Amino acid sequence: MNRSIKSNDCNGGNRMTLEQLRIFVAVATQQHVTRAAAALNLTQSAVSAAVSSLEARHAVRLFDRVGRRIELTEAGRLFLNEAVAVLARAEAAERMLADLSALKRGRIAIHASQTITGYWLPERLVAFHRRHPDVDVAVKAANTAQVAKAVLDGAADLGLVEGEVTDPLLDQDRLPGDRLLLLVGDGHPWRGRSDLPMAELHRSPWVLREAGSGTRSEFEEALRGQGRAPEDLPVALELPSNEAVLSAVMAGAGATALSDLVARGALLAGHLHRVPFPLPERPFRLLRHRERGLSHAARTFRDLLLNE
């Protein structure tokens, strides 16, 4: 059953309310009043009234009606960014209050690169959960660039990446990481080689992660450090996940550079083969926003990673 909101919920005593912002963001996201009302479990009239109140009080039109749907005006698009930011801060405040009781409650949002999410982080999450079983931990996998943006935008309390991040608003702690390996499948001519001169790199097709991934950026930086331009490599495939790259290389699509954590199982099973080539060890990086305070739960998880 839909619930309604009183008129003073919309007017907020002539002040903008969080409820109005939530309604506006829902309508802007759904681009439809009825769907937004259903998502919020409100009546359609209550949703319309909340939006109308915002528009009337500030004498600005936030939506245009186009046929049966609605579209944000330029003012609406600008206001949406601010509304989302305010709601994110309100959610952060709720989390801060929730975890004040010695971590009996709390929530941590962690965004991490695919390599870390799939192969390094789970063991640490299990250790944290055993100590603090009532703290909810939400993990989202993304590439390094996306993780950094999530921390900057406040969508993530903490970020974990293997690629270099240069934004001055992000504090970074170095963690023990992994090593990139040059890998080929069974039928590749480099299999069994005792060494691989730099000049031969261009003689194989390559399968690489997408631009923006830490694995890709670290590999390209290693090549530059040895005087080789990454652009010279004949890249046959760019794929959005470690697993896709592994499968393509095992199928004979070419050579790749992947984390030893990712490749360990396939190497042990004999499906992939390491080619001796000087690629560096790389640290992982723990990101947090320099100007945003961490919740008690997030600080505790950060300390666990730094002190293990």
Closest C-alpha among 100, 102, 174, 89 to residue 132:
102
For residue 205, pLDDT beyond 60:
yes
Question: Is 61's pLDDT higher than 90?
Answer: yes
**Helix (H) or strand (E) run with residue 273 in it:** strand 273-274
Read off the pLDDT of each residue in 50-54 and give the average, rounded to a whole number.
Answer: 92
Residues of the chain with CATH 1.10.10.10: 18-86
Reported as a single tens digit per residue, the pLDDT across 155-199 is: 999 999 987 789 999 999 999 989 999 999 999 999 999 999 988
pLDDT attached to residue 14: 65
Q: What percent of the chain has pLDDT over 70?
A: 94
The 3-state DSSP class for residue 295 equals: coil
pLDDT over 60 at 10, yes or no: no
- Contact by Cβ (8 Å): 9, 17: yes
Q: Which CATH class is domain 91-175+284-307?
A: alpha beta
Structure tokens at 214: 């830490």
CATH for the stretch 18-86: 1.10.10.10
Query: Would the pLDDT of 278 be above 60?
Result: yes
Distance CA 97, CA 100 (A): 6
CB 203 within 8 A of CB 268: no
Residue with the larger pLDDT of the pair 100 and 254? 254
The CATH T-level fold of domain 178-282 is D-Maltodextrin-Binding Protein; domain 2 (3.40.190)
What does each C-alpha distance from 189 to 122, 204, 243 come to in angstroms? 36, 9, 22
Query: How many whole angstroms separate alpha carbon 245 and alpha carbon 213?
Result: 13
Helix (H) or strand (E) holding 1: none
Mean pLDDT of 90-94: 85
Task: From 5, 85, 90, select the one nearest 53 (Cα to Cα).
Answer: 5
CATH 3.40.190.10 residue window(s) in the chain: 91-175+284-307, 178-282
Per-residue model confidence as pLDDT tens digits over 123-144? 999 999 999 998 999 999 998 8
Alpha helix ranges (H) inside 13-160:
18-30, 33-40, 44-58, 74-98, 114-115, 121-131, 144-153
